[in-house]
Amino acid sequence: MSSKREAPADSIWQDRDIRFDLDPRLLCLIPGEHLVDRIDGVEDTKGNNGDRGILRITNLRIIWHAHAIPRINLSVGYNAVGGVTTRMAKSRLRGQAESLYLMARNANTRFEFIFTCINPSQTKLFTTVITIHRAYETSKLYRELKMRGAIVNDEHQLRILPQEQQCDRFDGVWNLSSDQVYILAHSEVADCYLSLEFENSRIDLP
């Protein structure tokens, strides 16, 4: 039997945190993380203006590191990103250019990141990051606990998500945190507990 143990859930920080100057080993993809695109010749215009680097876009985060000194790097999880847009910025390598702006927050600290492609014909930086961040934001119900959400319709039927299937339904299931009868609905991605008496007593548990 292998002596290796699974990493605890709270050790998965890649999609939630903003981290700087990491050990390069922490920039490696974790299980379940996939590389969507890699773009060479990207400048971190806000934090390392004048440094040419590599930007990797995954399904969990954005990773940038400098070409010359890889220990100068950053990892921005999509859960920390509050907005993505494009604006004009002044780059040392390219001059005035359209750049990608990320507005982010980590704990009580706000961050602004600006990335500029050295090659003016390289525009997939904008479309790829905007598309992946939107996909991350709109898929939270598949992976996060949801309390008192609109997970059922007026007929007390589970609202099925895309590519989700309801496997079974059990009436008369008790939630031991309160003396009310709940319905348990099993699906591929969630267990749903619904109180018929209290409309706000709903839990969506992936």
Residues 68-100 have pLDDT tens digits of 999 999 999 999 999 999 999 999 999 999 999
Residue 170: what pLDDT?
62
Residue 78 lies in a domain: yes
Residue 174 lies in a domain: no
Residue 175 lies in a domain: no
The residues near 113 (Cβ < 8 Å, ≥ 6 apart) are 44, 46, 47, 74, 76, 101, 102, 104
Residue 191 lies in a domain: no
Least confident of 8-17, 34-43, 103-112, 116-125: 8-17
Residue 146 lies in a domain: no
CATH number, position 50: 2.30.29.30
Is 80 exceeded by the pLDDT of residue 190?
no
Number of compact structural domains in the chain: 1
The pTM assigned to this predicted structure is: 0.75
* pLDDT (average), residues 37-45: 96
Which residues span the domain enclosing 90? 8-141
The residues near 188 (Cβ < 8 Å, ≥ 6 apart) are 163, 164, 165, 167
Is 80 exceeded by the pLDDT of residue 143?
no
